[in-house]
Amino acid sequence: MKRILAHSIVLVIILLSLTTTAAGAPASLDKTASELAVAAPSRTADARAVIYPCHFEVRVTDEETGDPIRGVAVTFIRDDDRRAWAATTGSSGSFRVAVPEGSYSYIATHRDYIMESSSPELVSVRAPYTRRVRGAGGIVREITVTSESTRLIDVGMEPRPRDVLLVTTSLLRETAALEGAVERYVETVGRTDGLVARYIVLDSMECLRGYGVRAADPADWHEIRNALEAICEETGPAYIILLGGEAVVPRPEIVTIDGTIWYLPTDAWYVDFDNDGIVDEGFVASRLPDLSTDSSGIVSALETAIDLHESGGYGLSPEVWFSTRCWHSPPIGLGDACDEGDASCGPCRATPPYGVCDACSMREETFDLISESDYVVFMGHGSPDSFSTNDRVPIFRVENVEEVDLATNHPVITGYVSCNTGLLYRDRPSFGTEFLRAGAAAFVARNTEQGTPSHFAARFPDYISGTGPQGTYRIGDALFELMRESVLRAGDSEKPAAAQLCIYGDPTLKRNPREMLVFSRPAMTAIR
């Protein structure tokens, strides 16, 4: 629910003795050049806004309690040029930010609350201007009008729900191991994180009796989504975990965005219930996949999630990045802290020599780095079963997963810079299935060649590590809020790129707050 209460502070000085002629007729009014700029905003208007700044005065409160919320990051985005101004609420839940005149949408984010946005509604401010008033006897006076320079905005935010839906279909092979893993997961997340998890077979009679709806055809993703939407309206979950690969829970593929048909084999469409081409506020959808109808990989992923919830979350240090160009600016590289010829640059290792290609002389070191790291980032080119150099030479293949240890550290692995790394196969392994089977906490990837939204790539590490002002997000919340925010900031052109992002693993996991990031070079701290 959007709650925008905009009120104007009006300070208009009206000298009645000067607004009529001697005969009592209305006075003529002249507009100064600065006032004319108000009607057609331009560089002149922006320059005037430096002298006469406009302001948004914002107050953010908890919708349930009415208490002010500290630490909410609120961004105002100007409608005509997408430029942004941001501030963070203090202990009073409020702040004041100066902006040029114009029309704005806003986005409010906090790790414990559902994102709020005014989009597509806009709030406008107009810079103060001078009006010349010609009164009796030809005397001219100037008055300053500031009636629309400040807007008061109240933002109410809803706490994130605590419900988790583990959903699948009757196509998944039920085993005693799966039943036991689900029971242990439900108990663990309730005890350690206060989350309420429930297991639902969407095309079962139990689903119909419990929620009044069931998917008639488990092979039809439209049926799956319709059932999920009805269940979500009743339960209000924040997290939906799909148990099974595409042979068990089919994935949306051909979708329409703004009248254009796109091939987007992504789970994001399961939580676009209003069909506007962007994930809805407050929802997260992840997947624990397996080959065909098997469930052994799902059991492994649930056991990993249980281990991490028991230990307080995943770690992010040490970390390792594999890139052909470590010294390039993010997100392709880590900046200019190192020389172009260096084989390593802070946590980034150049490929080659690191990797498994013929020219990669440091193959064993690569495996050791992956096995010993909590956070593994693959860059360059990619596919569902290979990460490659810019020349398409593989530097890590899906079969190499057997040669590394992911069960000890349960690392977070990302491949969202590389194309197609999140695609799944029904009949053979892919990174999405094998990383989780081997013990990774999560694998974040993208499913097409649309390109990664720059806002997402720049912010995602900070969101999951807690190094930014917004604090530490659960990994699923970070992914889906940044997907949505990327579109809200850049416009509809980012819809296909944002929607392709996906997560395999438990989205409720977050970083262990006792673990501190350690960088191999102090110069890298500013970049991170």
pLDDT tens digits, residue range 96-113?
999 988 999 999 999 999
CATH architecture of the domain with range 310-527: 3-Layer(aba) Sandwich (3.40)
If one compares 345 and 142, the residue with the highest pLDDT of the two is: 345
Taking the domains of the chain in order of start, what are their residue ranges? 16-157, 163-287, 310-527
pLDDT value of position 336: 63
Numbers of helices and strands, H then E, in the chain: 12, 27
Give yes or no for residue 219 having a pLDDT over 70: yes
Contact 439/506 with Cβ under 8 angstroms?
no
**Once rounded to an integer, what is the mean pLDDT over residues 347-361?**
91
> Looking at residue 22, what is its pLDDT?
33
Banded pLDDT at 35 (limits 50, 70, 90) = very low
Confidence at residue 262, expressed as pLDDT on a 0 to 100 scale:
87
Q: Please report the pLDDT score of residue 5 as a whole number.
A: 35
**Cα angle vertex 318, ends 314, 321, to 5°?**
105
**Under 8 Å between Cβ of 426 and 247:** yes
Contact 267, 286 (CB under 8 A): yes
227 three-state secondary structure: helix
Query: If you search the block for the tokens 């269940």, which residue do you land on?
Result: 231
Q: How far apart are the C-alpha atoms of 197 and 164, rounded to whole Å?
A: 4
pLDDT of 315 higher than 60: yes
Task: Report the alpha-carbon distance of residue 236 to residue 473 in Å, rounded.
Answer: 20
Do you find a cis peptide bond into 26, omega within 30 degrees of 0?
no
- Which pLDDT tens digit goes with each residue over 259-298? 888 888 999 999 999 888 899 999 999 999 999 999 999 9
What's the confidence (pLDDT) of residue 47?
Answer: 45
Tell me the pLDDT of the chain averaged across its residues: 85
| Phi, psi dihedrals of residue 4, rounded to the nearest 5° | -120, 115
User: CATH assignment of 16-157, given 2.60.40.1120, 2.30.330.10, 2.60.120.650, 3.90.1260.10?
Assistant: 2.60.40.1120
DSSP E strands, 235-358: 239-243, 254-257, 260-263, 284-288, 319-323, 344-345, 348-350
pLDDT band per the 50, 70, 90 thresholds, residue 326: confident
Examine the pLDDT at 319 and tell me if it is beyond 50. Answer: yes
Give the pLDDT mean for 27-34.
Answer: 34
pLDDT, greater one: 374 or 277: 374
Instruction: Write out the two tokens for 395.
Output: 């530097």
Q: How many C-beta neighbours within 10 Å does residue 378 have? A: 26
The stretch 429-458 carries a mean pLDDT of: 95
pLDDT over 90, % of the chain? 66
Q: How far apart are the first and last CA of the chain?
A: 34
Residue 405 has a pLDDT of 97
- Give the long-range contacts of residues 458-463, CB within 8 A, separation 24 or more: 458/330, 458/331, 460/414, 460/416, 461/528, 462/528
- Please give the sequence-ordered ranges of beta strands (E in DSSP) within 481-522, or none if there are none: 501-505
The span from the CA of 15 to the CA of 19, in Å, is: 7
pLDDT of residue 145: 67
Please tell me if the domain spanning 16-157 has the same topology as the one spanning 310-527: no
**Helix, strand or coil for residue 374?**
coil
Question: pLDDT tier at 469 (50, 70, 90 boundaries)?
Answer: confident
Q: Looking at the predicted structure, is the pLDDT value of residue 431 above 90? A: yes
CA 498, CA 279: separation in Å to the nearest integer? 9
- What 8-state DSSP symbol labels residue 314? B
Retrieve residue 126's tokens. 């107009």
More confident position, 214 or 44: 214
How far is it, in rounded angstroms, from Cα 37 to Cα 302? 61
Integer-rounded Cα Rg, in Å, for the chain is 27
Question: Alpha carbon of 315 to those of 37, 309, 378, 454, 476: distances in Å?
Answer: 54, 12, 17, 25, 16
For residues 172 and 288, the answer to whether their CB atoms sit within 8 Å is no
pLDDT of residue 257: 80
Percentage of the chain beyond pLDDT 70 is 84
Predicted local confidence at residue 134, as pLDDT: 73
Q: Averaged over 180-199, what is the pLDDT?
A: 97
Burial track 151-171 (b if 16+ CB lie within 10 A, e otherwise) = bbbbbbbbebbbbbbbbbbeb
- pLDDT score of 376: 97
Query: Among 30-34, 214-218, 418-422, where is mean pLDDT lowest?
Result: 30-34
Res 68 pLDDT > 60: yes
Tokens representing 506 are 């438990």
**pLDDT higher than threshold 90 for residue 509:** yes
Long-range contacts of 392-397 (CB under 8 A, 24+ apart): 393/357, 393/358, 393/359, 394/355, 394/356, 394/357, 395/322, 395/351, 395/352, 395/354, 395/355, 395/356, 395/357, 395/360, 395/366, 396/322, 396/355, 396/356, 396/366, 397/356
Average pLDDT over residues 247-267: 88
